[in-house]
Structure formats: C-alpha cells, structure tokens
C-alpha cells in the first residue's frame, strides 16, 4: 500500500509563548478539521540538536496515498 506524508517545519519563533498558544489553539485544530483523509498526525517539538536546532517544531501528517 502506498502512502504519503506532508511535513510542516516551523522555524524558531521570536516569541515562543505566543507561537505555542497559536499553534495549540489554531494550527492543530485546523489541521484536524481540514486535512481530510489523514490517518495520523505526529507533532514534535525540537529541544536541541548537536548541530543546533534549525526548526522549532515539525508536524508530520500521514495519508493513505
């Protein structure tokens, strides 16, 4: 079975608290409501990286095809 994955990478925000509020109250509910056919959503917050964190959050949305 083939599948597809949409990846959304969010850069480091200037105001982390404001970003988190918007992300949790608007982005996540919108993704759940609007992305028809999704089978799974994985949201990750990047805390650190050996090379420095280029992104703050990464969201992976899976679809059957």
Looking at the predicted structure, is the pLDDT value of residue 53 above 80? no
Q: Are the CB atoms for 64 and 7 separated by under 8 Å?
A: no
Tokens of 1: 């079975």
Q: What is the pLDDT of residue 18?
A: 97
DSSP string, 28-53: HHHHHHH-TT--EEEEEE----TT--
Q: What is the mean pLDDT of residues 31-48?
A: 92
Q: Where are the domains of the chain?
A: 4-63
d(CA 45, CA 27): 14
Does the pTM of the predicted model rise above 0.85? no
CATH number at 4-63: 3.30.70.100
Looking at the predicted structure, is the pLDDT value of residue 43 above 90? yes
Q: What is the pLDDT of residue 50?
A: 85
How are beta strands 40-45 and 55-63 bridged, if at all? antiparallel
Tokens of 40: 């799974």
């Amino acid at each position: 079975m083939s599948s597809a994955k949409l990846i959304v990478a969010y850069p480091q925000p200037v105001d982390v608290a404001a970003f988190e509020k918007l992300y949790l109250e608007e982005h996540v509910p919108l993704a759940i409501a609007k992305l028809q056919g999704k089978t799974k959503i994985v949201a990750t917050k990047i805390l650190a990286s050996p090379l420095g964190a280029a992104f703050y959050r990464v969201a992976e949305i899976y679809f059957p095809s």
